[in-house]
Each structure stands twice: as structure tokens, then as C-alpha cells.
């Protein structure tokens, strides 16, 4: 017989620990403040030790609470992944893909109908990753392309899909000029969570960027939108702005620097690659090659 606390108490504890607030935990769980508070208090009483202590207007984990949070978060993550796989199996052939939101919105989703025409019985389910936090959420495949921000994770297992290319883009009428090995502009657009991308591009290309000021955004999509609206120069992967370049909404004043085989997919470690996932990778590789 297992001696476990109620799952509802564990969810309340994990949410309060992660958010640092019973109020925010209650909002996330769709419960009242009092209900979440009672569940956390009951868990502490059953455990016989304090899990939280007051920290100003919020909560702070005790050492015992921090150790237990790590265990509970891991168990809930495993349970969520297992349930998703069970649900996917019950719904038919599904590929769970984790990728950046900007890549999904600006390139993948507009072309996904082509894959469905080839494989009408397969469904692609997306989870969003970000530069701030790379999460796979139990995905069958994690797409990795940002070679300026980080190396390919798990090189030995990575499935190469094609090249990536990074370059500076701006609106056609934005004032920018190339002077020898320097690119001079008024504003340089930064990604808040990958500030080392500009120095990495300068090192790879031998060019230097001279800007009067910097402005930062927390998302690749926002950086691109800022460049489209004429706010400054942005550093982006070519695939993400291919349609804008073709339509003349953006220009690349010094072209793109290519990283061979920089686009990769990382398969899950706990199960073999399914035939549907292999078919999706074949399709993705063909699409990237056709547009290269």
C-alpha cells in the first residue's frame, strides 16, 4: 500500500512553490485562495515539517520545502508527459514537436498543409520552446536552429536537416550603411535572452556593427516586427524572414552567413523514432532544401 499525499495537495504545493504566492497558485489552478492555502497547510501538517516561510508579502521555501519541490516537480512533469503520450496514442498517429514560437508562426505552420497532403492521417502537435527556457515537454522531436545563441544539444543524437544562415535585416528605407568591415546604423535590435548573438555574428563574419543605441525585446518575433516597422536593424535566421525578403518588406544589407548542417532535430531519449516522425523529418528536410 502506497503512502502518498493527495495529488491535489501536491499540485497546490508545486504551484505555490513555483510562483511564490498562494494567490497566483490559486489563479493558475482555478481554485480559491482559501482552498489552496488549506491544501498546502494540510500537506505540511501531514509531513510534520514546514515547507514555506514568509518573505515580505510572498512565500519562500524552507530547505525541506526546496528539496521536496524538486521531487514533486519532477514527478508531475513525468506524469504529464506520460499522460500526453497515452492521450496521443488514443487519438491516432501524432507527432509531438517542440520548436520556437517564431519558427512555428512564420515558417512551419504556413507550410504544414503540404505535409498533411502527403500524410493525411498524421497530426502534428506543437509545444513552444523559447530562448529563455528550452523545454521539450516530452516531445518526439525538438527542433534546434539558433547557432548564434547555442550549440546543438546532444550532437551525437542530432538529426541534421539542413543549413542555417544569419544576417542583419531592416526595413528598405531604414538608414544603414556599410563602411568597409563596419555596418553603421542608428539602432541595433537585441533579443533580451540571447545578447551574445550579435558578438557571435561579428566574430563569424569579421564585420563590426556601430550603432548609436540598442533596444531589446524578449522574443524573436518582436525583434522581426521591430525591424519591419523601421525601428532598427535586427539579426535573424534567414528562414524566419524569407517571405518578407521576397516581398521586399525587409532587406539584408550585407547578406547572410551560413552555418552548414546547423538545423537539427533532437529525438526523444526514451523511445525510438516513429515512422510518422521519420516521415515528418523527411518532409522538413525537403522543404528546407527547396527553399535554400
Q: Find the range with the poorest average confidence among 4-18, 105-119, 133-147, 272-286.
A: 133-147
Q: Could you tell me the pLDDT band of residue 115, with boundaries at 50, 70 and 90?
A: very high
Angle between helices 7-19 and 22-29 (to 10 degrees): 130
pLDDT at 88 over 60: no
pLDDT digits (tens, 9 = 90+) for 251-263: 999 999 999 989 9
pLDDT of residue 175: 95
Question: In angstroms, rounded to a whole number, what is the distance separating the alpha carbons of residues 123 and 91?
Answer: 9
- 162, three cell numbers: 539542413
Strand arrangement, sheet containing 176-179: 176-179, 182-191, 208-217
pLDDT of residue 135: 61
More confident residue, 288 or 79: 288
Please give the share of the chain, as a percent, with pLDDT higher than 70: 94
Q: How many Cα atoms sit within 13 Å of 79 on the Cβ side? A: 9
Please give the share of the chain, as a percent, with pLDDT higher than 90: 62
pLDDT of residue 130: 66
- 39, three cell numbers: 491544501
pLDDT of residue 151: 79
pLDDT digits (tens, 9 = 90+) for 216-248: 999 999 999 999 999 999 999 999 999 999 999
**Mean pLDDT score of the chain, rounded to an integer?**
89
pLDDT of residue 57: 75
Q: Could you tell me the pLDDT band of residue 87, with boundaries at 50, 70 and 90?
A: low
Q: How many Cα atoms sit within 13 Å of 267 on the Cβ side? A: 18
Average pLDDT over residues 73-92: 71
Q: To which residue does cell 522543404 refer?
A: 287
- 143, three cell numbers: 527542433
Q: Which residues contact 286 (CB under 8 A, 6 or more apart)?
A: none
Question: In angstroms, rounded to a whole number, what is the distance separating the alpha carbons of residues 94 and 2?
Answer: 34
pLDDT digits (tens, 9 = 90+) for 118-130: 988 899 999 888 6
Question: In angstroms, rounded to a whole number, what is the distance separating the alpha carbons of residues 281 and 39?
Answer: 45
Average pLDDT over residues 28-50: 91
pLDDT digits (tens, 9 = 90+) for 133-190: 556 667 899 998 888 888 777 788 899 999 999 999 999 999 999 888 899 999 999 9
- 240, three cell numbers: 524566419
Strands 182-191 and 176-179: antiparallel
Average pLDDT over residues 22-33: 90
Amino acid at each position: 500500500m502506497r503512502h502518498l499525499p493527495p495529488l491535489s495537495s501536491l499540485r497546490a504545493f508545486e504551484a505555490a512553490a513555483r510562483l511564490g504566492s498562494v494567490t497566483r497558485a490559486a489563479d493558475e489552478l482555478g481554485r480559491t485562495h482559501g482552498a489552496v492555502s488549506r491544501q498546502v497547510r494540510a500537506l505540511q501538517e501531514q509531513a510534520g515539517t514546514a515547507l514555506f516561510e514568509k518573505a515580505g508579502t510572498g512565500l519562500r521555501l524552507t530547505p525541506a520545502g526546496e528539496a521536496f519541490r524538486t521531487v514533486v516537480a519532477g514527478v508531475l512533469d513525468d506524469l504529464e508527459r506520460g499522460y500526453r503520450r497515452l492521450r496521443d496514442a488514443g487519438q491516432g498517429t501524432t507527432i509531438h514537436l517542440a520548436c520556437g514560437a517564431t519558427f512555428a508562426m512564420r515558417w512551419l505552420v504556413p507550410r504544414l498543409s503540404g505535409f498533411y497532403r502527403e500524410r493525411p492521417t498524421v497530426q502534428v502537435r506543437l509545444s513552444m520552446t523559447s530562448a529563455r527556457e528550452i523545454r521539450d515537454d516530452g516531445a518526439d522531436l525538438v527542433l534546434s536552429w539558433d547557432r548564434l545563441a547555442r550549440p546543438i544539444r546532444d550532437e551525437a543524437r542530432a538529426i541534421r536537416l539542413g543549413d542555417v544562415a544569419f544576417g542583419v535585416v531592416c526595413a528598405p528605407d531604414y538608414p544603414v550603411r556599410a563602411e568597409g568591415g563596419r555596418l553603421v546604423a542608428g539602432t541595433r535590435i537585441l533579443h533580451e535572452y540571447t545578447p551574445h548573438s550579435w558578438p557571435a555574428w561579428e566574430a563569424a563574419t569579421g564585420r563590426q556593427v556601430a550603432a548609436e543605441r540598442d533596444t531589446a525585446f524578449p522574443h524573436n518575433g518582436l525583434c522581426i516586427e521591430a525591424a519591419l516597422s523601421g525601428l532598427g536593424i535586427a539579426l535573424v535566421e534567414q528562414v524566419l524572414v524569407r517571405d518578407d525578403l521576397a516581398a521586399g518588406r525587409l532587406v539584408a544589407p550585407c547578406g547572410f552567413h551560413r552555418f552548414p548542417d546547423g538545423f537539427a532535430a533532437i529525438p526523444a531519449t526514451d523511445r525510438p523514432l516513429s515512422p510518422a516522425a521519420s516521415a515528418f523529418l523527411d518532409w522538413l528536410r525537403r522543404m528546407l532544401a527547396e527553399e535554400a
